[in-house]
Amino acid sequence: MSRITSVARSKRVQLTALVLLALVLSPIQASGEDYPARPIKLLVPFPAGGATDTMARLISQGLSTRLAQQIVIENQGGAGGTLGARQAAQSEPDGYTLLMVAATNTFGTAPRLYKLDFDPVKTFAPVGMVAVDKQVMVVAPSVPAADVHELVRYAKANPGKLNYGSAIGIGPHFVMELFKLKSGANIVHIPYRGGAPMISDLLGGQIQMTVNGKSVLLPHITSGKVRALAVAGAQRWADLPNVPTLVEAGYLDAPYDAMFGIVTRAGTPPEIIAKLNAALVDTLRSPETSAGFARLGIETKPGPPEEFAAVIAEEAPRWADIVKATGIKVD
């Protein structure tokens, strides 16, 4: 009887050991081989219809196909993109919550403008770069300025009469404030939660000018609904060969283009980040996705996580200095 009891006890011990081993190993297996086992959330920290949202939707189907899981886009606008970033910061480090970011904003300006309860550099791990969205300064047809120099003369002669729209604390906001410092133009800032409502008001005549992405403004420039005065990058655009750069015109000391990518929670297993990056790179290189970005004039930037990490490391301190130079503050 004692022998039978001993055998039974031994089997129970073996079974318990196997169960414990399975419990220990299951996260490792889920983090690699079994990932993703459920839908993935892609947070967009601005309202639908803007540049960040547009790019997220361009890549979502390709990611879904390659990962064999649904990609659920969730727009969480507000506070210059920090509300969406905070939501991502509170997620589990399991690869099921991704965040679409502009490197300048999330890592450079936001930590200096807002009292964040997290450090973006320590909280997020780069998955990969997505694209560069070139920036352009445009005015409504009602503004009596055919070029950027005429705009400056008009703004100086009519201080406070012109206004421009942008979300608070993002790259275009700072480009406009640097332009104002350099030119001496008095132009009033009208804050918005994101690009889509701002552009709607620009087209409707509620505001008079803005700086924003080629992806959302080029169609309106082409149709004549807005007038391009200058581009913010290092070179003129082939689409707008007669429109100078702000550096060339003497109103910016350095070029600016918005560099977008995807991040997830730091601590996410490397094998999951590798899977996500492989799916992202393959999506960006696919003919259908490339064509979608090309139609908007956006340059895709597929590459490993390390490349986006290098961009973040370069942009964060640069834009921290610009926050100080402009003196922009938020409540």
Parent domain of 169: 134-231
- Is residue 289 domain-shared with residue 142, that is, in the same domain? no
**Is it the case that residue 28 has pLDDT exceeding 60?**
no
Query: For residue 230, how far is the Cα from the chain centroid?
Result: 22
- Is residue 102 domain-shared with residue 176, that is, in the same domain? no
Lowest mean pLDDT among 18-27, 135-144, 322-331: 18-27
Domain boundary among 215, 231, 247: 231
- Is residue 138 domain-shared with residue 157, that is, in the same domain? yes
The answer to the question of residue 253 being in a domain is no
The average pLDDT across 270-276 equals 98
Tens digit of pLDDT for each residue in 209-223? 999 999 889 999 999
Tens digit of pLDDT for each residue in 34-73? 999 999 999 999 889 888 999 999 999 999 999 999 999 9
- Tell me what pLDDT residue 316 has: 87
- Tell me what pLDDT residue 47 has: 87
pTM (predicted TM-score): 0.81
**Is it the case that residue 8 has pLDDT exceeding 60?**
no
Q: Which band of pLDDT confidence, cut at 50, 70 and 90, is reported for residue 331?
A: low
Instruction: Supply the mean pLDDT for the chain.
Output: 89
- Tell me what pLDDT residue 27 has: 43
The CATH number of residue 105's host domain is 3.40.190.150
* CB-CB contact of 280 with 130 (8 Å): yes
Question: How many independent structural domains does the chain possess?
Answer: 2
- Is residue 138 domain-shared with residue 220, that is, in the same domain? yes
- Tell me what pLDDT residue 329 has: 83
